[in-house]
Structure 1
């Protein structure tokens, strides 16, 4: 009984690896690609791929390459595509909130706008506010400046509206700020959206090192001044740890059998 159970578990693991390899690939994969990646016998690979096609987990495109099946597209159509990002980011956001006491934000881009998709409230009474329903101009926000600096949002061509006297409003100012942001690894706004409000943010990267989100904090300028470098570096560390969740792990589906042996060794 235990041998049968173990054999069934191995088969499920192998099938799951095949699905993960296809879903995470940049382009359709051939039968030979999948057999080589899995290290399985040709007959075993063929049987598993056929079963995965029947279940809708995989399908073949016009050229015969394997791609994600209809079940994935059905799921994506029925759910917010950013729910998974928020779920994965929540522990990091809570850790940042616990370490800093400040309001923590997670934002993405939607067309030419910055949209906040999650927030962890400040532990202080001063500074607690729900920003998820507020449309903040990207040039006034540390989160928005992350997207400018790493090319997720195009820098504006003309002058922008000034929310305060400290707001950066010209393309030249924003370009210089983007260079400084990339050099230090995190963005900052001080009194640029509201007088007395400071924000810091760092990029969250995807499987190909592209910026997929920004994570940041905000709080009263008086409380944050003198800690900006410390908080910025802490944000970068948390963002880097969060980014690893969106990359294939060593020994994972993208790793060849030879590389798997090296990892184990």
Structure 2
């Protein structure tokens, strides 16, 4: 064996051990504790600790709220670029549940596909009034808060011709829709009041991906009578939650700040 191969062997063994730790976590049916991984790998505690710290630092592994190890941000970031709906929903689900618990209203997650805003996940309202499954409903972008997010930030182009009216309040003139988009960007959130259905109000905010572009919209909806007077409060709450989610998509945590 050459001197070069001999010198490389310890480094190769370290890579193999680290790869085994990552593989064990990724293949596991549930998050794994430090003790689980140390036992499965057969490594000394100090070696296991050192490798897990390095794998966390690189984004290959991360710890959940209970301190157990799960696949890291690099895995879902890669998957998000190739299968964005499934991974985006997985990542956004805890945030959506938190918003639902906080507001008690229906929470929506949507992505842009062509000229449509496609809802990919929903957390139902705790109220009987306002609970409806929108994931199978084809909603025109210009009369939903989620769709208005994509129009305002350029993820969907504003149509050049007149738009169909769902209600008397629907914005059907493209120029008015552009002005509404300008206001949405300045404010930070989109609003619809009685524009899709009379008596229905929505508020939505953008979610920014690793490149800073808008990759999804996060919003809530409910009866106009219940949401009127709360739109600014709800918009600010959604902005806080979407900022956390956007930072996760960039592979950072809120404590690390924005790049």
TM-score (norm 1): 0.66
Q: Give the equivalent residue in structure 1 for 2:108.
A: 105
Task: Report the Cα distance in structure 2 between the residues aligned to 1:142 and 1:100, rounded to whole angstroms.
Answer: 17
Task: Please state how far the C-alpha of 1:9 moved relative to its aligned partner.
Answer: 6.3
- Structure 2: 5+ residue runs without aligned partners? 1-9, 23-77, 254-259
Of 98, 101, 125 in structure 2, the residue corresponding to residue 122 of structure 1 is 125
Counterpart for residue 28 of structure 2: none
- What's the CA shift for 1:249? 3.1
Work out the CA distance in 2 between the residues paired with 1:139 and 1:236: 21
Q: How many residues align?
A: 185
Higher relative contact order (CA 8 A, sep 6+): 1
1:82 aligned counterpart, secondary structure: helix
Structure 1 residue 190 corresponds to structure 2 residue 193: yes
Report 1:230-241 matches (<5 A): 230-241=233-244
**Alignment match, 1:162:** 165
Tell me the distance in 2 between the aligned counterparts of 1:183 and 1:219.
24
Following superposition, the deviation at residue 226 of structure 1 comes to 0.9
Give unmatched runs, 5+ long, in structure 1: 17-71, 251-265
**Equivalent residue number for residue 43 of structure 1:** none
Q: Of the candidates 137, 144, 156, which is equivalent to residue 153 of structure 1? A: 156
1:209 corresponds in structure 2 to 212
d(CA) in 2 for partners of 1:249, 1:115: 27
CA RMSD across the alignment = 2.3
Partner SS for 1:199: strand
Structure 2 match to 1:222: 225
Cα distance in structure 1, aligned partners of 2:17 and 2:182: 50
